[in-house]
Structure 1
Amino acid sequence: MDTVNELSTQHAELAAQLQQGGVQYAVGSWIDVLGRPKSKVVPIDHLPNLLAGSERYTPRGMGGIGRMNPVEDEVVGIPDPSTLRVLPWDRRFAWMVADMVQGGSTPFALCPRSALKQQVAEAADMGYVCQLGIEPEFYVFHPDSLGTDKLRPIARSGDVAPTPAYDVEVTLDAMPFLDKVTSYMTDLDFGLFSFDAEGGQGQYEFDFAHDEVVAAADRMTLFRLLVKQAAKETGMLATFMPKPFAHLWGSGAHFNMSLEDRHSGENVFKTGTGNEGWRKEALHFAGGVLRHAKALAALSNPTTNSYRRLVPRLADGNFSWAPTNVSYGHNNRSCMLRLPANRPAIENRSVDSAANTYLTAAFMLAAGLEGIRDGVDPGDPADVVSYTQGDREVLPRTLIDAVEAFEQDPLTHSVFHAAFVRDYVAMKRAEWERSHAEVSDFERTNYLLNL
């Protein structure tokens, strides 16, 4: 049998235990550039083989990046057994996250998880462990309204203006779906804190425990999967599209990132509570992230639709609450970075719900570490609504602006393999070009008869 590693007796015992519990199948999911898990399915008695690297893939062109190449070496998926979870919505399946390797043990150039693990190692060399908490938002619709002039949200209790955020009635009306999500999260030990109706009709947010950055990214991958599953089971459709409607709030996935001393476990960003107590490491980390903010946007805001969220105001004139400037503040939710009073983590509010968590976290961590090494000064914090500050450097306004910044930034080429940079830039440039080539209804309405 052609495997990367020898079969393990311990893994055979694990397979037997899972089989006794009713598990019939196992998957070792590698994560593509779009953040979607991909895997072959093996019978549970084949679990030792799967963990040894028996399953091979040709992911290029199938994982959201690159062109198919029929003569390229196959990639082996090596599952991480520490991530094994039995899926609560179908207990026949054991789910794991896998790393992609080539040539025995070399990380595959297009493997997002491997890119993040490399930056984790860089942090460890500097004496740090990175922690990450994520605040994902998403919309839920009735699927029978797809293709119509107006998507119908899962719940709409009257005309709650200007926003249904935190509205209990809107939340209660969606409980058949929300209850499934919370049940699955509890079963999977997510450490659920709270959930609520968000700013848009049919939009919801879940807050759960932070974790070591790779584990947090693994959890976010599983969260997206379980949300979509819960929606299907209740006859709904869930989407992590950043901006489904011009007049409603976009869906963010704010990153709350911090560093701990790898020996003592002490948080190195902040001492005490409130707006005071931020240490120089936190300010330099923020400075590094701001230094590379434009390049980071190509990952944290990875679609043409992402930039419809990064605007000062919604179509109705209300503030969007999404950042547009390269700035930081304390209790200022119009800034890209926020140093909140209630937690010792830097909140990146620019990240949207379409972002690949592994890729975004890898670049943000690398930028922050560079900021600490170089002692980067983040400047003065913004203490007013940043949309009104015309002297601030702006975030990219389109995907192509972000992609060009990403390609030109030296940090990009130290964080990611050259093959990844080449293929990712080509993929995103083509995505923008396809979008830019479209002639919209807006253009026909405004220009066809007037010009």
Structure 2
Amino acid sequence: MTKQQILEYVSQHSSGKVKLAVTDIDGVLRGKYVATDKFLSLVEGRLGFCDVTFGWDMNDAAYDNVKFTGWHTGYPDAAVKLDLKTFRKIPWENDVPFFLGDFIDEKDAPSIACPRQLLRKVMEQCEQEGFKPYFSQEFEWFNFEETPSSLHEKGFRNLKSLSPGMFGYSILRSSLKNAFMTDLFELLKCFDVPIEGLHTETGPGVYEAAILYTDILEAADRAALFKTAVKEIGYKHGIIATFIAKLNENLPGCSGHVHQSLWDKESQQNLFYDEHDPQKMSPLFRSYIAGQLYCLPQILPMVAPTINSYKRLVEGAWAPTTVTWSVDNRTVALRALPLNKKSTRLETRVVGSDVNPYLAMAACLASGLYGVRKQLILAQPATIGNGYRDYSNGTMPRSLEEATQQMKQSTLAKELFGEAFVEHFTSTREWECRQFAKAVTDWELKRYLEII
């Protein structure tokens, strides 16, 4: 739709309101409704949005260790510029118009704390080098027959799964709760978040969806909106969806694998594919993989951002633990898929479902481009067999605390994303570690309370 058509739709919508949203550092959508007239006055201007968006965690607890904002600044409004290209109609809200926005500073420059702006920056660098990045993300998540109220009443325990048992790719289970699954497929398409596939995954009440690939910024928008949309559609069915990376020590974790490829801006050819190579992989593809292998341990919090993320990254649970790559091997960190000239791509399997899609995709693209710029040679041979046993290129940090300190001290991370972003982001991860460190867990009570 053209700008004029979008504004006409907004003006004529019977609700008299528009829904707006921004994304915080954890990838959580924060937003509001505004009256139609208010929205129309903001189209060429700016929306004031409290900068506490980047001054608190996902539970609205204010950070005490970040410079960007805090009690020392008084939490002023930050400017948000609406992106009309993100226009959508929310089909489960009577097609109410919806838009995303970007944070900017007082000089209209991108805010250093805004995840969407960081991805824009990396994307623009990529395009300046003649490449067009196409990305997509797939998610696994648990579903429960619960409500927000029942979650809290039960203390987040003994929740009723949408379906019982381990039954991946089940035709039976997709029929069992077909109204929800059908709504997901159809309403997400109407919301301009089209999915290529939807099925049950192994685990009670676990679904998996693959979102259709597109250019990287739109891909990240789709991924961020997907997570919230699934939750909102779930509400309509009395279902709580969660994208926690590891729900239970006895069950596999939930992934958020990122698929990616670079295309030539002029010829529109997939630059990862080489029909003359025995593995159908181009030298550029190999350098891109080499870049990710080199960079990922230093920027891991961007793809594994929570305490819980590292409970997923354990041996034998369908998530990688070693810095490895291979062709079509699900035990490695980087799974190359040199299929044909259209669909050849890299799947970064380290990424969990709990990520901020903007940061995860920025991390993948920036690290891959680092390898391309430096013309890194993919010296590490492809892993044959069990990637959990391939230590030739080392392992990844084992905790958020370890990963955060490695990123904080990394000159490479600052080169890729800017010193100001790295300082702010790693401070928020240090805060996350501190919150966990002072918590008394169920494991501690069960292990120590009676016996010690």
> Are positions 1:154 and 2:155 aligned together?
no
1:16 equivalent in structure 2: 8
CA separation in 2, counterparts of 1:13 and 1:48? 13
Equivalenced residues, count: 431
Residues 269-292 of structure 1: per-residue CA shift (max 9 Å, x gap): 113499821001111001111111
Is contact 1:304-1:399 (8 Å) kept? Answer: yes
User: CA 1:260 to 1:341, structure 2 compared with 1: closer, same or farther past 3 Å?
Assistant: closer
CA separation in 2, counterparts of 1:171 and 1:329? 32
- Percent identical residues: 25
Residues 291-327 of structure 1: per-residue CA shift (max 9 Å, x gap): 1111232011100001110000xxxxxx311000000
CA separation in 2, counterparts of 1:392 and 1:404? 20
User: CA 1:334 to 1:437, structure 2 compared with 1: closer, same or farther past 3 Å?
Assistant: same
Bigger shift: 359-368 or 69-78?
69-78
Q: Select 2:21's aligned residue among 5, 29, 51.
A: 29
Report the CA distance between 1:439 and its aligned residue. Answer: 3.8
Q: Secondary structure at the match of 1:332?
A: coil
**TM-score, normalised with respect to structure 1:** 0.89
> Are positions 1:41 and 2:42 aligned together?
no
Residues 85-144 of structure 1: per-residue CA shift (max 9 Å, x gap): 111111352111111111141111111111111111111121101110111111111224
1:235 equivalent in structure 2: 238
2:312 equivalent in structure 1: 309
> Are positions 1:207 and 2:210 aligned together?
yes
Report the CA distance between 1:446 and its aligned residue. Answer: 4.1
User: CA 1:45 to 1:293, structure 2 compared with 1: closer, same or farther past 3 Å?
Assistant: same
Report the CA distance between 1:392 and its aligned residue. Answer: 4.3
Residues 316-370 of structure 1: per-residue CA shift (max 9 Å, x gap): xxx3110000000012101000002433111000101111111121122111111
CA separation in 2, counterparts of 1:132 and 1:328? 19
Q: Secondary structure at the match of 1:394?
A: coil
Q: Select 1:326's aligned residue among 323, 334, 345.
A: 323
1:371 equivalent in structure 2: 371
One-letter amino acid of the counterpart of residue 409, structure 2: Q
Q: Select 2:251's aligned residue among 243, 248, 253.
A: 248
Q: Secondary structure at the match of 2:91?
A: coil
Q: Could you tell me which runs of 5 or more consecutive residues in structure 1 were left unpaired when the two chains were aligned.
A: 1-9, 313-318
Q: Secondary structure at the match of 1:350?
A: coil
1:315 equivalent in structure 2: none
| Pairwise CA RMSD | 2.3
Q: Select 2:178's aligned residue among 158, 166, 175.
A: 175
Report the CA distance between 1:223 and its aligned residue. Answer: 0.8
One-letter amino acid of the counterpart of residue 76, structure 1: A
Bigger shift: 124-133 or 32-41?
32-41
> Are positions 1:55 and 2:56 aligned together?
no
1:218 equivalent in structure 2: 221
User: CA 1:149 to 1:220, structure 2 compared with 1: closer, same or farther past 3 Å?
Assistant: closer
Is contact 2:10-2:18 (8 Å) kept? Answer: no
Report the CA distance between 1:46 and its aligned residue. Answer: 2.8
Structure 2 counterparts to residues 81-100 of structure 1, below 5 A: 81-91=84-94, 93-100=96-103
User: CA 1:442 to 1:265, structure 2 compared with 1: closer, same or farther past 3 Å?
Assistant: same
Q: Secondary structure at the match of 2:81?
A: strand
2:398 equivalent in structure 1: 397
User: CA 1:272 to 1:29, structure 2 compared with 1: closer, same or farther past 3 Å?
Assistant: farther
2:429 equivalent in structure 1: 428
Q: Select 1:186's aligned residue among 185, 189, 192.
A: 189
1:124 equivalent in structure 2: 127
Is contact 1:287-1:371 (8 Å) kept? Answer: yes
Residues 368-420 of structure 1: per-residue CA shift (max 9 Å, x gap): 11101112223111011111234441111110111112112223213334333
CA separation in 2, counterparts of 1:191 and 1:272? 30
Q: Secondary structure at the match of 1:152?
A: coil
Report the CA distance between 1:254 and its aligned residue. Answer: 0.4
CA separation in 2, counterparts of 1:275 and 1:125? 30
Q: Could you tell me which runs of 5 or more consecutive residues in structure 2 were left unpaired when the two chains were aligned.
A: none
Bigger shift: 420-429 or 243-252?
420-429
Is contact 2:92-2:187 (8 Å) kept? Answer: yes
1:406 equivalent in structure 2: 407
Q: Secondary structure at the match of 1:52?
A: coil
One-letter amino acid of the counterpart of residue 352, structure 1: G
User: CA 1:348 to 1:273, structure 2 compared with 1: closer, same or farther past 3 Å?
Assistant: farther
One-letter amino acid of the counterpart of residue 191, structure 2: L
> Are positions 1:292 and 2:266 aligned together?
no
